[in-house]
Structure 1
Amino acid sequence: MGGDDESGPLLRPDRETSDVRGPSLESQRQVREDAPNRGAAKKDEGLIEELWMSGAWRAAPLFILAVLPWAMIFPYLPQLMVDFFASEEAGYDLTCADSPGADQPQACRDAYSTVVTWQAWKSFASQAVLSFLLTPAVGRWSDLRGRRPVILFCTSLDILPLLALLAYLSGAVRLYAFWPLSALNQAVNSSAVILSWVSDVVRPSRRAAAFGALTAVAVFGMAGGPLAALFSGPRPATVAALCVRLVGVAYALVAVPETIGQRRAPWKVRWGVAEDDEDEVRRRKGVAGEERASEGWRRWLPIDKGALGVVLRSRLYRRLTLVLMLQAACSEGLQDTLLQYLMLVAGFTSKDNAVVLVVIALGGFLSLTFGLRTLLLFVSERGVLLTGLGGLLVHLLLLPVTTTRALAYGGLFVGLTSSLILPAISSMKANAAADDEQGAVQGALFGARAAAAGVGPLLFAGLFHATTSGSREEGGAWPLPYFPGAVFLLGAALTVAAMVVAHGIRAEDVVGVKEGARRQREAGRCSVEGDRPGTTQPLP
């Protein structure tokens, strides 16, 4: 009887399958899901320890060295552009900063709008056209061929516009050469690949805070670059920026390890997560990568199901992508308009531009470190996203009434919470994506963002021109009053729309995307196992 009692449970189908053919699919899934929790119970890590032990800290210098060169030339670049176009119109050299306000020559007053228009078309070419096509392909390339070569390629492109600017300051070329090279550089966004690399080494529960902390360290470049540049001049600052960019390329070459091609994602190895599904194991061995590459040039099109189609496959992805596109159209559209607006209405100079960047850098650092970590203790990523959008809305409503430097700095400080938007969206998408599509998801995310970021500047530049040099009060053809702050009201309308979309995101959406992907993988495995002869198959 005792033997019957002991053998009885073995006759149940799940026990029979487990003992004869190995663990069932359900039990394997449970092992995979419980493994991170068991590891966390034995040895939980704080954010700093997680970044150090996982090696994710290596991404911090990448962000710093990417931002620092442009921060060094940022105080001079807007004024250089205004002076260039003013001189082109006047036919002789002009320095518009020598006569601020209403005393400026008409060529200078027209130049502000001209700069915004040129920057808008550059953004359209780089973002809506080139980046829209290239960024998803670059993200997928990093999935197939590795993160490291893609990061090296992206960081190397930064050298080209700096060389063009140095040639202009040396009298070798005109400033027109700067825009096409800058458009090419901005078309390939290294941030998407770097965040994918971080996703490979950091466990999902820490990704939001990790994204925020690692991007926040860029403050050291954003704050230090302008302050150092003000003690030199445009040409020495450009030479120094070029040297810093070369250091960044060398760092990416020697200090960033490859995370693609391993049998399991690095974060799963560290936390003892059970073996990956068969398809992911094959991908990390390179088999799936070869199969994908063999599909030909259509695998690289952003409109096929493997690239931008990623962002359309679920309710969560569609909403997050729409929020990011609305925010990108607003932020990119106002990026160049903001400086020209402050120079026009508040008399900002190169020194003021440097202070603006320092304020943005320090405030963004506080938001992405202390602010983000504190918010995550009380609200979800959706709450962080809504907080960032709310701060951006207040910022945009304050700027139209700005007439002094004090009001300008106050409006800028309030809007610093907008730096929380991208980490929140990237975290929700990364946590809902499988390990073998992190690059594709981030690439599709930044590709969709690029499309909006290219169209946004054209809308804002057109409105800025119509309400400044093109207004009826300035003798222009547009029947609109002189009101430079109108662009910020347009930005506020886009931000309100983004908040409405973000408010509709549900907590179960994040779980639903990954659960659906898991069921598809297990269904695929069941069909494969069902075709394979075994003890549970009928004998011929």
Structure 2
Amino acid sequence: MTAEAAGVAPRGPLTFITLTVLIDAMGFGLIVPVLPALVSELGGMPMNEAATMGGFLIMSYALAQFLFSPVIGGLSDAFGRRPVLLLSMAGFALSSLGAAAASTLAMLFVARILAGVTGASYTTAYAYIADVTPPARRAQAFGLVGVAFGMGFIVGPALGGFLGAGGSRLPFLAAAGMAGLNLLLGLLVLPESLPRHLRRSFDWRRANPVGSLRRLSTLGGALKRFAITYFLWMLAIQSLHGVWSYIVAYRYGWSPFDIGLSLTLVGVLAVLVNGLLVKRAVDMLGEWRTAVAGIMAGTIGYVVHIFAHVPALAYAGIIVGGLGGLTIPALQALMTERASATDQGELQGGLATLASITVVAGPLIFSQLFAAFSGAEARLHAPGAPFVLAALLSAAALALMLAAERPGKG
């Protein structure tokens, strides 16, 4: 009897995928505390102007993911998950080395674009989980991915802030080293999860952002509704992912170490929520109510951040908003249950395309809001303005879930 037939997921593959996500999250978390300083150094600009350039930098990363996520998902459906994951690990290591060696902003942009292309592999990681995990346990399995992200953001930013004291390039070298070790481990222990009889031919008409989104819209009415909710939620999150380092550096004068400490708390909460609460919440409430509860908590957290004029309120917003970590595992479970085994890679590619759109547009929008409402020339001084928009987007996602007919299983 297979693990899936027995109603459990095989531990070995899930352990490696979780470790892969952990290392990727650590690699990203390592560079977050030093990125504002590096952008400011390479561009020769003050911090509030560096925030705008940082928004374009994140946008270039996301644009690469937007273009390549459906391609990566389609390739994994055609040729298997293993080769796609391994090649992506190698590319991430190279991109980190390139960023460490950057002497101009242009070089940094090239490195981050390569990181975006290879970072599209998380669509394959989610498809891998769907391959080896029975539907009833997928919310818990996706929660483990959230734990890995959280652990990465506990260790990564803290280590990045520590290493950043020795220079803004050192964290990139550490990220490259971890990605290289992960590649070696994958070569040794990662099995293939997609049998040959479940693979389908690669089709460029489907493996592009437009085709991917069109296909996503045809997979069912409920799936479409959840996908819109996912999009609004992910766009709101960009207020934190895109400009948090710049806002807190401006508002409170925080150093890279202080920024890393705040992100460490984010990671701790992600581990607690995904590791301890997701399964219990889904068992007690069902997936739909769990997603609603997460969105409600996130909305409250954004409202707190609007008025966080002192660091204590910033930490309060992090703690309340941390319960928003319930949202994605529950939504992922709701959506994967409504897609066939042969469409899991394509589904994850479509969701990654939606997420990439938010990462393309979000940091640019939120960084422009921050720049417009901060600095000496701002007509209205309100550095919390990005969180106003985030709260509105999150509230819209909540309204969509509440107005929709509740799924029978959740």
TM-score (norm 2): 0.90
Comparing 309-318 and 215-224, the one that deviates more: 215-224
CA distance in 2, matches of 1:334, 1:237: 21
Q: Residue 303 of structure 1: SS of its match in structure 2?
A: helix
Gap change, CA 1:179 and 1:488, over 3 Å in 2: same
Contact preservation (8 Å) 2:32, 2:245: no
Paired residue secondary structure (1:506):
coil
Note the C-alpha offset of 1:51. Answer: 4.8
CA deviations over 1:309-349 (Å, ceiling 9, x no partner): 23212221211111111122221243232221111111211
Query: Could you tell me which residue of structure 2 aligns to residue 150 of structure 1?
Result: 84
Q: Does 1:118 align with 2:53?
A: yes
Equivalence for 2:151: 220
Residues 286 and 409 in structure 2, CA contact (< 8 A), matched pair in contact too: no
* CA 510–370 in structure 1, closer or farther in 2 if over 3 Å, else same: closer
Q: Flag structure 2 segments of 5+ consecutive residues without an equivalent.
A: none
Q: 1:406-436 CA distances to partner (integer Å, 9 max, x unpaired)?
A: 2211111111122222211211111111111
1:504 paired to 2:409:
no
C-alpha RMSD of matched pairs (Å) = 2.5
- Displacement of 1:465 in angstroms is 1.7
Q: Larger relative CO (CA 8 A, sep 6+): 1 or 2?
A: 2
CA distance in 1, matches of 2:294, 2:26: 24
SS class of match (1:81): helix
Letter in 1 for 2:377: G
**CA separation in 1, counterparts of 2:138 and 2:35?**
35
Q: Superposed, which structure 2 residues align to 1:23-172 within 5 Å?
A: 50-52=9-11, 55-85=13-43, 88-89=44-45, 108=46, 111-112=47-48, 114-127=49-62, 129-168=63-102
C-alpha distance in structure 2 between counterparts of 1:464 and 1:411, whole Å: 18
Quickly say closer, same or farther: Cα 1:202–1:67, change in 2 above 3 A.
Answer: same
The amino acid across from 2:362 in the alignment is G
Among residues 182, 186, 189, which one is paired with 2:112 in the alignment? 182
Note if contact 1:382-1:505 (Cα within 8 Å) is conserved in structure 2: no
- Equivalent pair of 2:144/2:275 in contact (CA under 8 Å): yes
Name the amino acid aligned to 2:401.
Answer: A
TM-score calculated relative to the size of structure 1: 0.70
Q: What residue is the counterpart of 2:384 in the other structure?
A: 485
Give aligned pairs, total. 404
Choose the corresponding residue for 1:356, options 262, 271, 280. 262
* Counterpart secondary structure, 1:298: coil
CA distance in 1, matches of 2:357, 2:111: 19
Distance 1:213 1:371 in 2: 11
Contact preservation (8 Å) 2:93, 2:180: yes
Deviation at 1:231, TM superposition (A): 4.4
For residue 252 of structure 2, what is the aligned residue in structure 1? 346
CA distance in 2, matches of 1:504, 1:230: 43
Equivalents in 1 of 2:359, 2:409: separation in Å? Answer: 26
8 A contact 1:333–1:458 mirrored in 2: no
- Identity, % of aligned pairs? 23
Q: Distance in 1 between matches of 2:154 and 2:248?
A: 19
Q: What is the match of residue 229 of structure 2?
A: 323
2:364 paired with 1:458: yes
**1:39 shift after superposition:** 6.1
Counterpart AA for 1:376: V
Distance 2:205 2:216 in 1: 18
Residue among 298, 305, 321 paired with 1:415: 321
For 1:299 and 1:434, locate their aligned partners in 2 and report how far apart those are by CA, in whole Å: 16
Equivalent residue, structure 2, for 1:7: none
User: Which stretches in structure 1 are left out of the alignment for 5+ residues?
Assistant: 1-34, 90-107, 263-282, 512-540
- Distance in 1 between the 2:381 and 2:125 partners? 43
Counterpart in the other structure of 2:274: 368
Change (3 A) 1:439 1:78: same
